[in-house]
Amino acid sequence: MEGAGSGDGVKPRTATWLDKHRPMYDRATRHPFIRSIRDGAVDFASFKRWLAQDYIFVKEFVPFVASVLLNSCRQSDDTSDMEIILGGVASLSDELSWFKTEASRWDVELTGVSPLKANIEYCRFLESFSSAEIDYTVAITTFWAIETVYQDSFSFCIQSGSKTPKELLGTCQRWGSDEFKQYCQSLQKIVDRCLEKAPIDVVEKAEEAFVRVLEHEFDFWNMSSSEH
């Protein structure tokens, strides 16, 4: 049995998940830490903690995205997937440079920083995708979910009426931009296409991965807000 998709008039699977798991999704994308940025009430110590911890996360994110790229080469039925994912890989070098520059600006020491518990668990989750046996559909779903939560979270901070501190506007615009949103939508189209053709057990694993991303993102924001 294959997963239902948009080809038969049914709502795309990702849209169904976003509706089904809306409370969890909103917890991840409208977390008090994100709201504090939007409201101009953020504790800059929390932002600095996020900056250092997210730098560690992105370094672990690089091999994860590389594994998704490799899986697309092996398993995808559409060569354009590789080009889209490769764009994400290429942007990560610039992203790491951005973190270093931003850390210097905020006097945040990146060398020797230890990952906190939520970060360790999230990175361990990413490492679980290093196996060649991981289904491409599950991997690309996870990639899309991670990127989408960040895009939605930070775009919230630059919407009309926001009071985001000017010092953080660059950060929010980096992930909240329309350009990044379009990239996330490109990933979403790949995910829906894969889910439409996937057997039900793979669809279930992909949904489980989607939910786990939401849980990890929520915990990551919590970690940024308090040193745990």
CA distances in angstroms from 141 to 25, 157, 191, 203, listed in the order given: 15, 25, 6, 10
Specify if 44 maps to a domain.
yes
> Is residue 83 annotated as part of the catalytic site, yes or no?
no
The structural domain count of the chain equals 1
Q: Flag whether pLDDT at 6 surpasses 90.
A: no
Report yes or no on 216 lying in a domain: yes
Annotated binding-site ranges: 54, 95, 147
Mean pLDDT calculated for residue range 11-33: 98
**In this structure, is residue 77 part of a structural domain?**
yes
In a domain? residue 72: yes
The answer to whether position 51 is within a domain reads yes
In a domain, 5, yes or no: no
Report residue 1's pLDDT band, with 50, 70 and 90 as the boundaries.
very low
Residue 153 domain flag:
yes
Q: What does the block give as tokens for 224?
A: 């940024």
Q: Which domain holds residue 216?
A: 11-225
| CATH number reported for the structural domain that contains residue 112 in this entry | 1.20.910.10
By the 8 A CB rule, do 195 and 137 touch?
yes
Model pLDDT, residue 227 = 57
Catalytic residue, chosen from 2, 127, 217, 227, is 217
2 in a structural domain: no
d(CA 217, CA 211): 10
What pLDDT, on the 0 to 100 scale, is given for residue 9? 66
pLDDT in tens, 91-105: 999 999 999 999 999
Q: Name residue, tokens 């279930």.
A: 204
pLDDT at 64 over 70: yes
- pTM of the predicted structure, to 2 decimals: 0.94
